Amino acid sequence: MRRRHHTVCTIAGEVDRLDTFRRDLRTFVSTYDFLSAIVDYEDVELEKRALFARMLAEVLKDSQRHDPAIDLSDVTLTQPRAAQTGGPGA
3-49 confidence digits (pLDDT tens): 555 566 677 788 888 889 999 999 999 999 999 999 988 999 999 99
Domain ranges of the chain: 2-62
pTM for the predicted model, two decimal places: 0.57
Neighbours of 53 (CB within 10 A): 16
Sequence-separated (6 or more) residues with CB below 8 Å from residue 88: none
56-77 confidence digits (pLDDT tens): 998 887 665 555 666 767 877 7
Q: How far apart are CA 43 and CA 46, in angstroms?
A: 5
Q: How far apart are CA 23 and CA 60, in angstroms?
A: 10
Give how far Cα 29 sits from Cα of 16, 32, 36, 50, 71, Å. 20, 5, 10, 6, 37
